[in-house]
């Protein structure tokens, strides 16, 4: 198994654990918990090394504090889960293995990625709103035209009936 395949397998182990024990019942729910796009998570789970980043594994530990062993997720050494009895010690030991500035940079990067994703979603929603406004204007024009035609038809009918009298 390659390094990337190992990382992919560890990510899928996390998902299977969350699915079985933590109520994460879909990739969508998993992506929401991590605050990443579902497509990015799916790409990582399918082995795309561009998405199998240390940042992603850090987000897992941040989203589920005290559950997953960051050292294991990053290197494959140790076990998947932080043991309940040594919960705090194991968590802090795994954190010591990481350069604090790298951890902070990973968190900042995660926030930057989240902000970028939200901006992208906002832009998409603004485009949708613009299209809907255009459709509303068209429907208003059609309604106004239809009302004018209806008024003309009613006026003609009234004129015909008055002429018959």
Q: Which residues contact 15 (CB under 8 A, 6 or more apart)?
A: 24, 27, 30, 45
pLDDT (tens digit, 0 to 9) for every residue of the chain, 165 residues total? 677 689 999 999 999 999 999 999 999 999 999 999 999 999 999 999 999 999 999 999 999 998 999 999 999 988 899 874 354 455 555 555 666 677 677 778 778 787 877 888 888 889 989 888 999 988 888 888 877 888 888 778 878 777 776
Neighbours of 21 (CB within 10 A): 10
Token pair, residue 21, equals 């024990």
Alpha-carbon span 58 to 135, nearest angstrom: 44
Provide the pLDDT for residue 1. Answer: 67
Provide the pLDDT for residue 84. Answer: 45
Report domain extents, the chain: 3-98
Whose tokens are 């390659």? That residue is 2
Tell me, letter by letter, the H, E, C secondary structure of 30-59.
Answer: HHHHHCCCHHHHHHHHCCCCCCCCHHHHHH
């Amino acid at each position: 198994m390659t390094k990337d395949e190992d990382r992919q397998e560890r990510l899928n182990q996390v998902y299977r654990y969350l699915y079985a024990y933590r109520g994460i019942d879909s990739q969508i729910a998993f992506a929401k918990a991590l605050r990443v796009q579902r497509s990015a998570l799916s790409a990582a789970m399918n082995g795309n090394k561009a998405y199998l980043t240390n940042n992603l594994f850090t987000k897992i530990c941040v989203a589920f504090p005290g559950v997953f062993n960051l050292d294991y997720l990053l290197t494959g050494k140790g076990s998947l889960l932080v043991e309940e009895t040594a919960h705090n010690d194991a968590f802090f030991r795994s954190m010591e293995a990481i350069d604090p500035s790298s951890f902070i940079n990973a968190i900042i990067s995660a926030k930057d990625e989240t902000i970028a994703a939200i901006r992208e979603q906002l832009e998409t929603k603004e485009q949708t709103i613009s299209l809907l406004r255009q459709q509303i204007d068209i429907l208003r024009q059609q309604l106004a035209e239809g009302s004018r035609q209806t008024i003309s038809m009613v006026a003609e009918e009234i004129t015909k009936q008055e002429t018959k009298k």
